[in-house]
Amino acid sequence: MQVSSQTTEQIAPQPGTVSTKTAAELAAEISPAREERIFLLLSIFIGIISGLLVVSFRMAIDWLQVLLLGTETGPHRLRLIFVPAAAGLAIALLTKYVFPQVRGSGVNQTKAALYISNGYISIRTVIGKFLLSSLAIGSGHSLGPEDPSLQIGAGVASLISRKMGLSREKLRIFAPVGAAAGLAAAFNAPISAILFVIEEVIGQWSAGVLGSIVLSAVASVVVARSFWGSEPMFRIPVVTELDSRELLAYAVLGLVGGVASLVFAKALGYLRPRLRAQTSWTIFQPAVAGLLVGGIGYFGLPQVMGAGYEAIDQAMHAQFAFKILILLAIFKIIATTLSFSSGTPGGMFAPTLFIGAMLGAAVGSFEKHYFPYLQGSTGSYALVGMGVLFAAFLRVPLTSVFMVLEVSGNYSVILPVILANTIAYLISRALQPVPIFELFTHQDGLYLPSMEEEREDRHDLHFEDALGPINVPVFKGSEILGDARKSVLDAFEKTPGAMAALIQCKDGAWYAATRQELETIFSAMNEETDAKQSLEERLGGERTPTMYPDQSLATALPFFRRWPLIPISNRAMRGALEGVLSQADVIRRYQGN
C-alpha cells in the first residue's frame, strides 16, 4: 500500500531534519513557565510567516497559469490538453522520487501529523506541497489552493516549534495553529478558518488552543490583506431582501446540493482506491488525468480547469445560462474526481465551492425564468449553494454557515443558508454515513478520530450525574480532639459500613478523612498536650479540593488516589454540599448503572 510511503516521514523524522534527541535536549532547557510566555508570541509569528507563504503560493499559481495556459480563456486551444498532461507527468516523477509525502489535499495529512506523529511535518513536505500544488493548479488540474495552504501553515508551525525545542504537548498544539493561519490567509476569512480547524482537525474547544489559533489566523489574514486588500474572495452582487416564498426554492437547493455531494463523494470513494491499487502505472495517472481534464476544457468547458474562481464570480453575476451551469457542475465533479484520485496534490475546497455556486445559480436561474415575480437574485442562490456543498460534502455545518456570512458580509441570507445547509447536511449524513475525509483516511490505512462522531455523539458526564447522598458521618473541624474522639468513634459504631467521614473547617472548606486516618489520630493523641487542639488543626492545612456539580466527571478519578470521597459544593453557598462522590459512584455511572 502507498499509505506507508505517505505517512512514514510524518511518523519518524528523516535524515537532515531536527533529531528527536536534539529536540528533547532543547525542550529540557525550556521551563514550562517560559513555554507559556512564548506560546502566544510564536502563534503570531507563525501567522505572519504562513500568511507570507500563502500569498507567495497564490502568486505562483497565478504566474504559472498565465505562463502555461496563456491569458486567453476560450476552448479549442491545444495547450489546454497538452499542458495539464505534461505537468501531470512532471508532478508524478517529482512525487515518486523527491517529494513522496505531497499526495492528497493536506487536511488528512495535517490531522495525521497531529494524532500520529506529535505534530511532525517535514520541511521537505512543505516545499513539495508548495511547488507541486502550484504547478498542478496553475497547469489546469481541477483542484484548489486552500487545503494545501492549510498543510503549508501546519508545516511552518511544526518547523518553528521544533526549532524552539518545545515540549511534545506544544508540538501537537502548534500543528492546528499553523493550519488555521494557512487556511485563513487562503480564504481571506479568519473565522471560517478557525471553525474549520476546530471542526475537522482537532474537534474540540480549548481556551488555550483557541486563543493561539485566533492570533495566528488574524495575523495571517492581516498579512494577506496587505497584499490583496480587504475585499472578500468574490465580488458579491447586491443581495435583495428575502421573500418568504423563496424559502421553498432554497429548500430545493438544499435537496439538490445533498444529492450532488453524494454523487461527488461516491465517485471519489470508488475511483481513488482503484487507481491507487494500480501500482504499475501510478506514475502515469496524473498525466492521464491532466489529459482528460484538458480535454473537457478543449471541447468547450475550460472553466472547470484550475480552481475556477473566475467562473464562480461569473455565476454569481448571472453570466451563464441554465444548461451551462448544470454542465459545469457535472463536469467539475468529473474533472476533480480524476485529478484528485490520480494523486495529484491539491485541495477540495475550491472545487466544492465551484460546484455549489453552479448548482445555486442554476436554481436561481430556474426561479427567475418560471417565477419572475420573485425578486431573488442569482447571486444569492450561488452564494448559498457554495455553503450547501461545503456543509454536505465536507461535513462541516458550522463552518459552512459562517463562511457564507464572512464572504458576503450580508446577514440577510442567514435564514436560507441555515435552511439549505441543514437539508443538504442531513441528506448527506443519511446517505453517506462516513465523511469524505474520514473515508480517505480509511483508504490510506489510517484510523484517525472521527470529528463528526465526536461532535454529535459525545455525551459529557458531570459530577451531578454520579452524585450520591451524604451517607457518611459529618463533623465540625472546630471541635477539640477530646470531644471529637467520642463523637467520631460513636458515629462509626452506629454506621459500621462507613469507611470515611467529612469534616467541615472554619473557612467553609471540607476535609474527607478515612476511618483509619481518624482512628490513628485519636490513638496517637496525647491527653495532656493534644486534648485542647481542634480537629482541623490536627489535620493540618491540606483540604479536599472544592468541586462543583457542573464540572466534568472525567476529572474525578485522579482525586481518589488521595481522598476517599469528593464533597461536591453548592456554587451559591460556600460550605453547603450538594452531595458526595466516591470512586464507586464514578465507575457505576460510566458503566451505565
pLDDT of residue 22: 47
In this prediction, residues 376-396 reach a mean pLDDT of: 92
Indicate whether 12 and 88 sit together in one domain: yes
Mean pLDDT of 404-418: 82
Confidence band, pLDDT 50/70/90 cuts, at residue 16: very low
Q: Residue 309 and residue 332: Cα distance in Å, rounded?
A: 13
Closest CA to 379 of 355, 403, 359, 361: 361
Which residues lie below 8 Å from residue 276, measured CB to CB, with a gap of 6+? 1, 2, 282, 343, 443
Residue 164's pLDDT is what?
A: 83
Same-domain status, 439 and 543: no
Spatial CA neighbour of 333 closest among 425, 429, 422, 436: 436
Q: What are phi and psi of 533, to 5 degrees?
A: -75, 140
Percent of the chain with pLDDT over 90: 51
pLDDT tens digits, 125-150: 999 999 999 999 999 999 999 999 99
Domain with 406 in it: 244-452
Which one of 426, 452, 478 terminates a domain?
452
pLDDT of residue 33: 53
State the Cα–Cα distance between residues 180 and 191, nearest whole angstrom.
9
Angle between helices 378-393 and 414-431 (to 10 degrees): 30
Q: Which residues pair with 323 in a beta bridge?
A: none
Both 294 and 418 in one domain: the answer is: yes
Pair 144, 114 in one domain: yes
pLDDT at 240: 67
How do residues 210-256 score in pLDDT, each as one tens digit? 888 999 999 999 999 999 887 777 777 776 677 788 999 999 999 99
**pLDDT tens digits for range 538-547:** 888 899 998 9
**Mean pLDDT score across all residues of the chain:** 86
Binned at pLDDT 50, 70 and 90, residue 508 comes out as confident
Q: Which of 404, 426, 452 is the last residue of a domain?
A: 452
The verdict on 70 and 216 lying in the same domain is yes
What is the reported pLDDT for 17? 42
pLDDT of residue 222: 95
Task: List residues bridging with 502 in a β-sheet.
Answer: 474, 512
**Residue 417 and residue 474 in one domain:** no
Q: How many separate domains does the chain show?
A: 3
Q: What angle do CA 215, 221, 225 make, to 5 degrees?
A: 150
**Phi, psi (degrees; rounded to nearest 5) at 159:** -65, -50
Residue pointed to by grid coordinates 453575476: 317
Cα–Cα distance for residue pair 251/228, rounded to 1 Å: 35
- Of 388, 423, 452, the one marking the end of a domain is 452
Does 235 fall in a domain?
Answer: no
403 lies in the same domain as 502: no
- For the chain, the farthest-separated pair of C-alpha atoms sits apart, in whole angstroms, at 108
Q: Are residues 476 and 367 in the same domain?
A: no
Q: What is the DSSP letter of 551?
A: S
The grid cell for 264 is: 461527488
On whether the CB atoms of residues 252 and 62 are closer than 8 A, the answer is no
Using CA atoms, how far residue 468 sits from 85, 279, 464, 549, 585, in Å, is 69, 61, 9, 11, 7
Yes or no: say if 184 and 190 are a contact pair by the CB < 8 Å rule: yes
- Close Cβ partners of 462 (under 8 Å, ≥ 6 residues apart): 549, 550, 551, 552, 553
Q: Do residues 162 and 171 make contact, with C-beta atoms less than 8 angstroms apart?
A: yes
Considering the domain architecture, whether residues 409 and 496 belong to the same structural domain is answered as no
User: How is residue 229 written as a grid cell?
Assistant: 486588500
Residue type, 409: G
Q: Residue 291: is its pLDDT beyond 80?
A: yes
Percent of the chain whose pLDDT exceeds 70: 90
Which of the listed ranges 274-283, 325-334, 574-583 does the model predict with the highest average pLDDT?
Answer: 325-334
pLDDT given at position 590:
85
Model confidence at 165, pLDDT cuts 50, 70, 90, reads confident
pLDDT at 13 over 70: no
446-478 confidence digits (pLDDT tens): 887 776 666 655 567 888 889 888 888 888 888
Q: Is 239 a domain residue?
A: no
Q: Quick check: 413 pLDDT over 90?
A: no
Judgement on whether residues 55 and 141 belong to the same structural domain of the protein: yes
